[in-house]
Structure 1
Amino acid sequence: MKHITIILGCLLFSTTILSQEIKPKEVKAIMKKVADWQIEHYRDAFTYDSPHHPLDWTNGALYVGMAKWAAMSDRDKYYTWLKTVGELNNWKLHERLYHADDHTVGQFYLDLFRKYGDEKMLKPTQEQFDYILYHPAKTALTWQSPFHQSRWNWCDALFMSPPVWAKLYKITGEKKYLDFMMDEFKATTDFLFDKEENLYYRDESYMGKLDNGTKIFWSRGNGWVFAGLVNIMNELEPGSSEHQYFKDIFEKMAAKLLKIQTPEGHWAMSLLGQEFYPTPETSGTSFYVFGLAWGINNGVLDKKTYGPAVEKAWKALTSYITPEGMLGYVQPIGAAPGKAWPDRTEVYGTGAFLSAGTEVYKLYSGE
């Protein structure tokens, strides 16, 4: 009964949303509703039977979006909430020294450091990254080689760790952080980027495999990369060789994404297999909206060409939000195309949606 009620609620809500023009005030209102719902349900269990650790990558992705929302909200509540998370965890990264997933929370730590100037928000991340700089992992990028995830050998990692390195570079002015990030990002891209499709394999294990006759490019996996590119470019000087490197990848991916958007507005869980994965999926789609809207706002993408795709996708996303503020159709934790449901969510989906909303708001408000 609960499942049916949620579906009906989403359908009624979606009919209203899809018939409306996008208005900045309404973008802000729906973001607030989603952010407030997620804070209230922050310690709920989603994919697993217990809630995620506060420093887990899942929550790290939530904090990335929440920090962007906090910066545009008229209330201090969201910054206060983020500060509380940091303080309760002594501003430390998660457990694994080299693993990109455990670096994700560093993004919001450094965002808060820039706002408040409190050294304790910066130092643990900087000290750990300094150690990595002078003791870099030497493992291969091949999948399941010994200690293989000590380097960025899966595409999700390009969202999790590189933006932290870029932020450290911007904050300190020390090029050693940028140089390390560039070397590792290029190594991962040379390994996982398919130059024919302009998309990333999730990891080496998906190369050469087919799903219903199509190459397997996971939507959220490429969403991680696309959003990560934006979060990195935000820290670099436009026109620099480093910025141009990421911009080139971004433009290639954007052009591909435009071609494979579904008629409903979302992107299929297997990006090249729309007919086999008709179910909406909101985490990957949110990341694509974030990136495409950012591209338009920053003069990287043509508004006339890409604007309709952003509008269609944003309307689709908001149609999957329940009246209470839960973002539905978020694929559970995984590494490949799968399933999603209208009454299932995840914290990283909310983070992606809030990131998207910040750029959609700018696009339609003219800011």
Structure 2
Amino acid sequence: MKRTAIFTSLLIFVFSSLTRAQDIKPTEVKKVMEKVANWQIDNYQGLYSGHDKPHHPLDWTNGALYVGMIKWAAMAETDKYYEWLKDIGQKHEWQLHRRKYHADDHTVGQLYIDLYRKYQDKEMIEPTKEQFNFIMYHPSLSSLHWKTPYHQDRWNWCDALFMSPPVWAKLYNVTGEKKYLDFMMTEFKATTDFLFDKKENLYYRDESYMGKLDNGTKIFWARGNGWVFAGLVNVMNELDPKSKEYKYFLNIYKKMAAKLLNIQTPEGHWAMSLLGQKYYPTPETSGTAFYVYGLAWGLNQGILDKTTYTPAVQKGWNTLLGHVTSEGMLGYVQPIGAAPGKAWADKTEVYGTGAFLSAGSEVYKLYGGK
């Protein structure tokens, strides 16, 4: 028994030493981001997680990819990524996806506004402005309760907080019209009041998970909370840090960051059921990438303590690298879902790539990239 304990301790020491030894170099971060971005573009219509046809280019899955891809485009030493993204918008006449109120179908608006910032072409954002103006003047009266009539016309599932609020915040920023910010704040607060567990400092995916247990633990989905954590960052990036709105989001962000630090696995990822590491040992890269993105951002902004949080980012990034194939495919991305489940080395999804590229953009800065 004593020998076993010594051997186990030795293994832990070797593993932690290896992790420390894997110093992160900005040039290497950039190189792997390029490889992953290129693989995804080459396999944009690929079927890698069980769905039977490619996602629509304006679908939320691809919208999340574009959020990360445009961050990479700003780092790349060529405009080919901007051109690829711009071509998608032009082909679809800068329209949002099909459902007027549904947050998922707003996601692509983040791309349009970021492209507008680069090219200053108002056609890129006019359809988004028109649709959001309609929503503001005809707000949904639906309940946030799950499966009530038209319930997803409002943000009653936590994924929505990544998909739609950053579009409203970006639109406020580029137009200077506070009505977009005010509408977003009202709806975001309503969702948070409904889904945020103040004891655990995590979000339920939706009302249907409240009060349920999985192997005795509350069910907090890793990617679901990843959507929220990254969404908080993407909103705060659009706001004045001295504003009351920014401080509202910062308060949630800090609470979630502290919780995430506490529940990161020894391997560096986050379990698919955040409080159930024992029951979900399989790595999952989309949620992990969003957490690495958010934590690295906080370090870069001087919000989080470097001594406390940098090791978590380093472990998280290194574990992500371990799941990138030699060709550039990010594996262990949980397929589309709404709860903890399974992931496989040969399964990926476009939103996982988007999360990885977002993470890389902040890790690059954290380790000295210019």
TM-score strictly above 0.5: yes
Deviations 1:98-154 (A, max 9, x none): 000000000010000010000110100000000001000010000000000000000
- What is the deviation of 1:20? 2.8
Deviations 1:158-194 (A, max 9, x none): 0000000000000000000000000000000000000
Deviations 1:240-262 (A, max 9, x none): 10000000000000000000000
Sort the Cα spacing of 1:18 and 1:29 in 2 relative to 1 into closer, same or farther, 3 A.
farther
Identity of aligned residues (%): 74
Deviations 1:67-105 (A, max 9, x none): 111011111110000001111111100000000000000
Q: Name the SS for the 1:365 alignment partner.
A: coil
- Structure 2: 5+ residue runs without aligned partners? 1-17
| Contact 1:216 1:270 (C-alpha < 8 Å) held by counterparts | yes
CA distance in 2, matches of 1:169, 1:230: 16
Q: Which residue of 2 aligns with 1:3?
A: none
The alignment of Structure 1 onto Structure 2 pairs a total of residues equal to 353
Q: Name the SS for the 1:46 alignment partner.
A: coil
Q: Which amino acid aligns with 2:43?
A: H
Matches within 5 A, 1:1-367: 20-47=22-49, 48-365=51-368, 367=370
| Contact 2:290 2:355 (C-alpha < 8 Å) held by counterparts | yes
Q: Which amino acid aligns with 2:314?
A: E
**Bigger RCO (CA 8 Å, 6+ sep):** 1
| Contact 1:206 1:216 (C-alpha < 8 Å) held by counterparts | yes
- Structure 1: 5+ residue runs without aligned partners? 1-15
CA distance in 1, matches of 2:104, 2:299: 29
Sort the Cα spacing of 1:323 and 1:366 in 2 relative to 1 into closer, same or farther, 3 A.
closer
Q: Which residue of 2 aligns with 1:9?
A: none
User: Hey, which bits of structure 1, 4+ residues long, moved more than 3 A?
Assistant: 16-19
CA distance in 1, matches of 2:75, 2:20: 25
TM-score, normalization by structure 1? 0.95
Q: Name the SS for the 2:367 alignment partner.
A: helix
- What is the deviation of 1:299? 1.0
CA distance in 2, matches of 1:253, 1:321: 27
| Contact 2:37 2:69 (C-alpha < 8 Å) held by counterparts | yes
CA distance in 2, matches of 1:17, 1:123: 48
CA distance in 1, matches of 2:369, 2:359: 16
- What is the deviation of 1:283? 0.1
